[in-house]
Chain A
Amino acid sequence: MNRLEVKNLACERGGRLLFSNISFSLNPGAVLVIEGRNGAGKTTLLRMLAGLRSIEDGVVSFDGLSIEQLADAYYQQMAYLGHLNAVKYDLTVSENLKFAQQLSTVVSNIDDALHKVGLDGYQDTLSRHLSAGQKRKLALARLLCIHKRLWILDEPFTSLDKSSIAMFEGLIHEHVSQGGMVIITTHHPINLPDSILLRLTL
């Protein structure tokens, strides 16, 4: 069964212990909200879970194997959205999504994804002409058109308006109800049923 397990994760940065003894397990159908004050190490934790930062102490395993062993196999299951949108300004909206798809194994329709995030009709617009919120939406649309079980989202609601946040909460709900998993940090109160929410405070 797909499940993410974290045991005794610790991280030190600049001679300071950011966090230690982080342990949790995340099953399909659940959303993990990571909370903490500024500088608590939320982004660092997420980057470790995404395999972008090496794990110095502790184990992160997916399906029982550590993510360092899994390497490429883990990346077939995991999508990460960081502070940066990973949107190329000189490519059109659909070219950006198409490139993400070409790097992935299982994909779905670009137009459907754009419809879901409310970017209908922007397919051929150069991404540099989008507003900050629209660029964020484009980054979210990328999650929808590459099929990954686990989403790791670092402040996904930055520069989104209220209705877009509600829309995206709906998409998260839809993803986990189909057996997906989501790990998310956010400063917004998240509006999802408590039955699927787990909370971790750093």
Chain B
Amino acid sequence: MHLRAFGAVIVRDLLLAFRHKSELVNSIAFFILVVSLFPLGVGADIALLRKIAPGVIWVAALLATFLSLDQLFRSDYEDGCLELILMSPHPVSLIVLAKIMAHWMLTGVPLTLIAPLLAGMYGLENSSIAVLMLTLLIGTPILSLIGAIAIALTVGLRKGGVMLALLILPFYVPVLIFATAAIDAQIAGFPVSGQINMLLALLALALTLSPWPTAVALKMSLS
């Protein structure tokens, strides 16, 4: 019974995103623009580009995710659907997890799939691109999960923007550090399993610890 509600929320959010594409396209377009403008600005120094590639791509992915987060609960809050969801006979944390998963499918997954196309501009080799994709695949859901807590806290405020950044971005730093360190290590010829394992540990932590406070924060925002 709970699983059916879980699936229903994911399907609904995906359907809504495809009916209302502009929000979906916004963050992806931002990612593509930032990542493809950098080489034009820096110049054709391939050694330098290769060196900054992990940082630039990851910072762009991080900010793109951050920009898209505001929509996570906003429309449901404004049209009353959030009340409907909170008053369903299912654990709110489960429903929240479904919404976060849908958000990741609409941002993290496309970013991971587009990244290898853009990485070519930075002269990354295929093996490095594989590590980049792996870090994005593990790292972007962490970004969505952490962001959800802060979004839930600020959904009742009319202008949560700056406070939101202050709340979220410090927690994004570990993900950024381990993800870029993994790619740097690969480029330098070292094993990457340590950094990848750290990312996986962060993902496990975020998966188990994020939905519950998000649910509590949503209830607080509504009351």
Binds B, one of A24-32, A86-94, A164-172, A183-191: A86-94
How many residue pairs at the A-B interface have CB separations less than 8 Å? 71
Residues of the A chain whose Cβ atoms lie less than 8 Å from the Cβ of B1: 105
Which B84-104 residues have C-beta < 8 A from chain A?
A: 84-91
Tell whether A80 is near chain B: CB-to-CB under 8 Å.
yes
Tell whether A1 is near chain B: CB-to-CB under 8 Å.
no
Residues of the B chain whose Cβ atoms lie less than 8 Å from the Cβ of A100: 84
**Nearest B residue to A99 by beta-carbon distance?**
B12
Residues of the A chain whose Cβ atoms lie less than 8 Å from the Cβ of B91: 72
A83–B90 Cα gap in the complex (Å)? 23
Residues of the B chain whose Cβ atoms lie less than 8 Å from the Cβ of A53: 223
Docked-complex contact B89 and A54, CB < 8 angstroms: no
Tell whether A173 is near chain B: CB-to-CB under 8 Å.
no
Docked-complex contact B8 and A102, CB < 8 angstroms: yes
Contact code string A56-91 (vs B, CB < 8 Å = 1, else 0):
000000000000000011011011101111111111
Docked-complex contact A103 and B223, CB < 8 angstroms: no
Which A38-54 residues have C-beta < 8 A from chain B?
A: 47, 50-54
Residues of the B chain whose Cβ atoms lie less than 8 Å from the Cβ of A87: 79-80
Known: A88-B16, A88-B79. A52 touches B8 (CB 8 A): no
Tell whether A104 is near chain B: CB-to-CB under 8 Å.
yes
A76–B81 Cα gap in the complex (Å)? 17
Docked-complex contact A86 and B80, CB < 8 angstroms: yes
Which B1-54 residues have C-beta < 8 A from chain A?
A: 1, 4-5, 7-8, 12, 15-16, 19-20
Docked-complex contact B89 and A105, CB < 8 angstroms: yes
Docked-complex contact B83 and A52, CB < 8 angstroms: yes
Contact code string B58-99 (vs A, CB < 8 Å = 1, else 0):
000000000000000001001111011111111100000000
Docked-complex contact A52 and B79, CB < 8 angstroms: no
Docked-complex contact A75 and B89, CB < 8 angstroms: yes
Residues of the B chain whose Cβ atoms lie less than 8 Å from the Cβ of A82: 80, 83
Tell whether B114 is near chain A: CB-to-CB under 8 Å.
no
Determine which of A47, A76, A88, A95 lies in contact with B89 in the assembled complex, contact meaning CB atoms within 8 Å: A76
Whole-angstrom distance between the Cβ of B215 and the nearest chain A Cβ: 12
Determine which of A72, A73, A103 lies in contact with B8 in the assembled complex, contact meaning CB atoms within 8 Å: A103
Residues of the B chain whose Cβ atoms lie less than 8 Å from the Cβ of A78: 87
Residues of the A chain whose Cβ atoms lie less than 8 Å from the Cβ of B80: 82-87
Docked-complex contact B90 and A72, CB < 8 angstroms: yes
Residues of the A chain whose Cβ atoms lie less than 8 Å from the Cβ of B88: 75, 103-104
A-B residue pairs, 5 tightest by C-beta: A84-B80, A102-B8, A86-B80, A103-B88, A90-B19
